[in-house]
Amino acid sequence: MIKVAIVGGTGYTGVELLRLLALHPLAQVEIITSRSEEGMRVADMYPNLRENYPDLTFSVPDLETLTSCDVVFFATPHGVAHGLAGEILQAGTRVIDLSADFRLQDADEWAKWYGQAHGAPHLLGEAVYGLPEVNREAIKTARLVAVPGCYPTSVQLGLLPLIEAGVADTQTLIASCASGVSGAGRGAKVGSLFCESGENMMAYAVNGHRHLPEIKQGLSRAANTAVGLTFVPHLVPMIRGIHATLYATVVDRSIDLQALFEQRYQNERFVDVLPAGIFPQTRSVKGANMCRIAVQRPQNGDLVVVMSVIDNLVKGASGQAVQNLNIMFGLAEDSGLASAALIP
């Protein structure tokens, strides 16, 4: 049994980790930390987990207890993993970080977007970007995995087949994405209030979202050149889900785009390319570690439209983290992740 610790277990990604790991046949949560909720039982904060964690309580992070586990998940705000990851790795415990701390390979670029100096630039060289559909082999032997962000997961999976095949104009890519309110986290914010977000849709961070450099980094690696991307995120009145509508110019109309996407993802357990003419819905991935994709060439023109949906808390965060855990420890990739989506 793999012994698991979770640092920062009171937010939505933390409780989603708990939910998914409760169903995992080969992993057991031994430690969960929260400075603000020290001593509180998980079951008291999250009654949906009463049967799964009747005795587990939140504790203050302690290096000795954390490193007694095989792996530590960080479900924390950015900047927290910087201070602990190095010592945990030195003790021989592996780290899976759900925050943005190790996603960008350039420490200066990270500092620019996150408003503080990077606290562990010496670890960036060994951090593996945890998008299994791209980096599966590197994840297998990784000590430190950076779980991709929610928007970057949906956008990259949607555009990668076109870019890897070299058929898209990489300088004019557009990503128009809509996210549920849980993407803003569990903290109290005016914009997340029901009266503010209900019956309302709005764009935000149009001039530059923190996920933009992460998306561009991944797509640029695939293209072997710097890409041009316009990324516009939107907030929509739902709890979970991301719908990414992606636009790319593909001049060659002889390419069978449906076959291209099906071939790229034919062996991927958690990417579903829908039949031609069927478009993905966010409810079809609710609670599931799945990305559903459709590709269309409207009026047989040069502009290709890709639609990609994920649950931002599962394939966009905690589910992908568990998927990485499975790969790192040589387990079946769908261990603990085989649940179907919830409809309605």
At 181-234, the pLDDT tens digits run 988 777 778 888 888 888 999 999 999 999 999 999 999 999 999 999 999 999
Asked if residue 192 lies in contact with residue 18, where contact means CB atoms within 8 angstroms, the answer is: no
Cα angle 254-244-262, degrees, rounded to a multiple of 5: 40
**pLDDT, tens digit, for every residue of 76-134?**
999 999 999 999 999 999 999 999 999 999 999 999 999 999 999 999 999 999 999 99
CATH code of the domain occupying 151-312: 3.30.360.10
pLDDT (0 to 100) of residue 187: 75
Q: Looking up tokens 């602990």, which residue turns up?
A: 84
CA distance to 119, 209, 288, 317, per residue, from 99 (Å): 13, 15, 20, 9
**pLDDT, tens digit, for every residue of 141-173?**
999 999 999 999 999 999 999 999 999 999 999
Q: Report H helices in the chain.
A: 12-22, 42-45, 63-66, 80-90, 107-114, 132-140, 150-164, 194-197, 211-223, 257-264, 319-328
β-bridge pairing 58-59 and 202-203 = unpaired
pLDDT (0 to 100) of residue 197: 86
Spot the catalytic one: 150, 177, 195, 291. Answer: 150
* CA-wise closest residue to 326 among 15, 26, 12: 26
Spatial separation of the C-alpha atoms in residues 84 and 171, rounded to whole Å: 38
β-partners of residue 310 are 242
150: annotated active-site residue: yes
Stated as kind and residue range, the H or E segment containing 32 is: strand 27-33
Average pLDDT over residues 242-248: 98
**pLDDT, tens digit, for every residue of 285-338?**
999 999 999 999 999 999 999 999 999 999 999 999 999 999 999 999 999 999
Which residues neighbour 44 within 8 Å (Cβ) at sequence distance 6 or greater? none
Q: Looking up tokens 């954390």, which residue turns up?
A: 66
pLDDT (0 to 100) of residue 48: 95
pLDDT (0 to 100) of residue 165: 97
Asked if residue 311 lies in contact with residue 286, where contact means CB atoms within 8 angstroms, the answer is: yes
Phi and psi at residue 41, to the nearest 5°? -75, 140
Domain range annotation of the chain: 2-126, 151-312
Phi and psi at residue 238, to the nearest 5°? -140, 165
β-bridge pairing 58-59 and 71-74 = unpaired
3-state secondary structure of 216: helix
Spatial separation of the C-alpha atoms in residues 32 and 3, rounded to whole Å: 12
Tokens of 151: 């928007």
CATH superfamily of domain region 2-126: NAD(P)-binding Rossmann-like Domain (3.40.50.720)
**pLDDT, tens digit, for every residue of 248-276?**
999 899 999 999 999 999 999 999 999 99
Strand order in the sheet with 229-235: 202-203, 229-235, 173-179, 242-249, 303-310, 291-296, 271-273
31 alpha-carbon distance from chain centroid:
22
**pLDDT, tens digit, for every residue of 30-67?**
999 999 899 999 999 999 999 999 999 999 999 999 99
pLDDT (0 to 100) of residue 186: 76
β-partners of residue 29 are 4
Encoded amino acid at 332, one letter:
A
